[in-house]
Amino acid sequence: MKIRFLLDENLSPRIKQAVLRYNQDIDILRVGDEGAPSLGTTDPVILKYLNINTILLITDNRATMPEHVYNHLTAGEHHCGILEIRPKTLVKELIESICLLWEASEDEEWFDQIQWIPF
């Protein structure tokens, strides 16, 4: 299946808008959107949401998310993929990376994977 993306709430809503301008078919939500976890949702709840909804998280939360991911996996839970944004990534590079991932891969390839983007 095609990848579905969830943008962490600390990422600008403009990223979602730019991705959809590039390709309207990409399934991308941001925390706080209708159908997504609400603003202020804790990291552990987000991780469960990813698994239940088969959706990949895009985040630049290097403060709390890594510990929660570690705890989540240690507890025997899974996730459908986490993409961490490299520091100092330009918005254009991020948009291009999201679009490339959507075009070139399937969601099952990202199961329990944690990768930096852009590659």
pTM: 0.92
Rounded mean pLDDT, 83-96: 94
pLDDT digits (tens, 9 = 90+) for 48-65: 999 899 999 999 987 778
What's the mean pLDDT in 98-105? Answer: 95
User: If you average pLDDT over residues 69-85, what whole number do you get?
Assistant: 86
**Mean of pLDDT values over 68-88:** 87
Quick one: how far is CA 29 from the chain centroid? Answer: 9
pLDDT value of position 74:
85
Q: Which domain holds residue 72?
A: 4-117
72 pLDDT tier (thresholds 50, 70, 90): confident
Total domains, the chain: 1
CATH code (residue 38): 3.40.50
